[in-house]
Structure 1
Amino acid sequence: MNLPKQTGDIFEELSKGRFISSNSMDQTTRMLFDIIDENYQELYDYFLHIGFKLEQGQEYFYFSRNETKTNLERKLEQAYKWIDIVDFLKTFNDSFGVGSRFSASDLEVKLQMDVTFKMKLNSLRRTVRGESHREIIENILTEMCKDRFFELENSITGTYKVLASFKYLEDLIMSINIPEEIQNEIPE
């Protein structure tokens, strides 16, 4: 098996639960994306052999694994959090998605003008720490950058860029199927 010399770097990134996106501003990340793209089958086979499944999305890569019940519950909690964050961001802008650019200040301005947006941010208090709206927004941005869904594009203006890996979250949400017979039920 002829593996690229960057296999260790790829493993280091993906094993932390991060994504490698094609539209990252980081040159190393883009290079790793290209290497995976060119050597996908070899890397897929190698990582599968050591217990990791290399997954390919639209312009991003990530690892998945068979999970224990405890890990699965933790991942479900994280998915719920992501769903709430995506809902919050889509309320900010219906077309919010891959390639979007925005700043924390943009979100704060919207808070002053949109009661629904403010309610959604307040509902995030149960999963995102922060005393003030600004702290909650900053913690969301920090977390989304850490998970490699966003990157800080310009530190002077505080502009963030939404990476291709954000499509994973959108696809996750779209894959949720609620049967018609329970759609209108009121939870107890």
Structure 2
Amino acid sequence: MELPNQTAAIFDRLAKGQFISANSTDPNQRLYFQLLTQHESAFSEFFNQIDFKLHRGDGYYYFSRSKSLKSWEDKKDRVERYIDWLDLLRNWRPKLGAGYQFSFDELLADIQSHAKLKRKLYQFVPRGHPDSLADSIRTWLRQLERESFVEPIDKGEQYQVLYAFSYLDHFIQQLVIR
């Protein structure tokens, strides 16, 4: 089977460690998800040949590698970061999940008024860098965006949680269970 023209774009996104989510506001991502779903076995076979394993979650796809190029220290740091992010988000909105929408102002107001949330934020976005609480939250939201867990809508002041967020939940549950 011949793979779609978008194969290179799909590979580029997944190879960077990003997710492709069905509920993305980006039409290209939705198309990539649809193509991956329609031709999953062909994509899996193709990517396996270049040492990438295609995984499907509930509404998202991602890559893993059998021989990771990253060190164990990098992996440990990433896991710790995911735990911190999930901890803050679950303390902020316990039922937060895929499809949930929130505004920057709502998040800022809640973190400003809850010392516990502010402490959690400063565990992974150091105080003073950036200069204000609002800048720290924007920095964190950009990190969540880069990892494909949230996406800005409405000119960046509104955000939507993507299906890939359930990867965090599942990943952390696997750590807790074991």
TM-score between both structures, scaled by the size of structure 2: 0.91
Amino acid at match of 1:91: N
For structure 2, the 5+ residue unaligned runs are none
Q: Partner of 1:151: helix, strand, or coil?
A: strand
Which residue does the alignment assign to 2:10?
Answer: 10
Partner residue, 1:60: 60
| Letter aligned with residue 170 of structure 2 | D
Query: Quick one: structure 1 residues 77 and 46, their matched pair in 2 at CA, closer, same or farther if it must change by over 3 Å?
Result: same
Q: Which residue does the alignment assign to 1:88?
A: 88
Provide the residue aligned with 2:107 in structure 1.
Answer: 107
Amino acid at match of 1:111: I
Question: RMSD over aligned Cα, in angstroms?
Answer: 2.1
The C-alpha deviation readout for 1:18-77, integer Å capped at 9, x for no partner, is: 110000011111001000001001100110011100111111001100245853321220
Name which of structure 1's ranges 16-25 and 73-82 shifts more when overlaid on structure 2: 73-82
1:12 and 1:124 map into 2 onto residues whose CA distance is 27
Q: Structure 1 residues 80, 67: CA separation in 2 closer, same or farther (over 3 Å shift)?
A: farther
Q: Which amino acid counterpart does residue 145 of structure 1 have in structure 2?
A: E
Segment of structure 1 superposing worse, 14-23 or 3-12: 3-12
The total of aligned residue pairs comes to 178
Within 2, Cα distance between the matches of 1:24 and 1:60?
10
Match of 1:177, SS state, is: helix
% same residue: 32
Whole-angstrom distance in 2 between the partners of 1:130 and 1:79: 23
Q: Structure 1 unaligned runs (5+)?
A: 180-188
Alpha-carbon distance in 1 for matches of 2:69, 2:37 = 32
Which one-letter code corresponds to 2:153 in the other structure? E
Deviation at 1:78, TM superposition (A): 1.2
Q: 1:104 to 1:45 in 2, by over 3 A?
A: same
User: What TM-score, normalized by structure 1, do the two folds share?
Assistant: 0.86
| Runs of 4+ with deviation above 4 angstroms | none
Q: Aligned residue for 1:34? A: 34
Once the two structures are TM-superposed, the CA of residue 112 in structure 1 deviates from its matched residue by 3.1
In the superposition, relative to structure 1, how do residues 126 and 66 fare at CA in structure 2: closer, same or farther (>3 Å)? farther
When Rg is computed on C-alpha atoms for both structures, the one with the higher figure is 1
Relative distance call for 1:29 and 1:70 in structure 2 (3 A) is: closer
Cα distance in 2, alignment partners of residues 164 and 69 from structure 1: 26
Q: Which moved more, 1:16-25 or 1:71-80?
A: 71-80
- Separation in 2 of the partners of 1:123 and 1:116? 11
